[in-house]
Amino acid sequence: MDRPLLVDLIHSTKGILDDIRDLSRLSREKFVDKDFEDFYYRQISSDVDQIDLLLDGFLSYVRATTPITRKDTVNTLIEEVLRKHQHTLEERKIGVFKKLEKELPETVVPDEHMTFIVDSIVQYAIVVMPFGGNIIFSTESSSAAPTPTFVTPVSTGGDYSRKSVEITAVYQGSDEQLRTELKSRPAQIETSMNLLLRLVRILVRENKGTMEHEADETKARGYIVLKFSSDRRKEVHYQPAGQ
């Protein structure tokens, strides 16, 4: 039997048991023989509890042994980071637009590294972009793997081509608000943000990716493009048995 269908069957059965349990409660005080009433209620409750316990154990087994394939990790992390900064984005009237490729391949980048990279880019855009600007995130895959300039190409006899995953963040602010904010923006903030981008670049390189950053002279408009090799392995995980 298909595992999702089996899980639905277990939940349906547990629902029926709940109905039986409720019916037994409603039946109390309806019997003439009080001894039989107590026996009936205890017996029904005991039988239902045992079946319910067995179903819980079987459900935990199904969950613990059903592999879940990782998918859409990059898109999911982008969504999580944007939700994290939603309040700040709304306060600064920054519009957020997304064009995320469905079924995007997995990357070789650990989740913790990718989260730091995306989170830092959003923080950078929020700080350098003036009030009322826009940030646009897009993801897509391509057939060409990234080729970092700091890595010496190695000739091999086999075909090791793999897809790459590209993440683009475009940030842009309005001229009117830009002129006002540049006068009051502390110089150390810009320096701190540049240091943050340097950390991002280091982490991108450690994960054999590439990073391209272009901005206008005010740094309030620009884009950041990241490319990482896709992961050809099918990574799976298992749901904790108790959930």
Assess contact for 165 and 105: CB atoms under 8 A. yes
Contacts (Cβ under 8 Å, ≥6 apart) of 100: 75, 78, 137, 138, 139
Name the residue with tokens 């992961």: 231
pLDDT for 34 beyond 80: no
Q: Report the range of poorest mean pLDDT among 93-102, 158-167, 172-181.
A: 172-181
- The H-or-E segment that residue 236 falls in is strand 236-238
The pLDDT of residue 132 is: 84
| CA torsion, ordered 81, 76, 5, 69, to nearest 10 deg | -130
DSSP label of 105: P
Closest alpha carbon to 100 in 125, 71, 123, 128: 71
The pLDDT of residue 210 is: 95
The pLDDT of residue 38 is: 78
Averaged pLDDT score across all residues of the chain? 79
Q: Is the model more confident about 186 or about 32?
A: 32
CATH of domain 69-229: 3.30.565.10
Q: pLDDT per residue over 178-230, tens digit each?
A: 555 555 555 556 677 788 899 999 999 999 999 999 988 766 788 999 999 98
Rg (CA), the chain: 28
Amino acid at 151: V
Assess contact for 202 and 83: CB atoms under 8 A. no
Mean pLDDT, range 152-172, rounded to an integer: 66
Burial label for 174, CB within 10 Å (0-12, 13-18, 19+), is middle
pLDDT for 160 beyond 70: no
Q: pLDDT per residue over 38-61, tens digit each?
A: 787 788 888 888 888 888 888 887
The pLDDT of residue 51 is: 85
d(CA 188, CA 194): 10
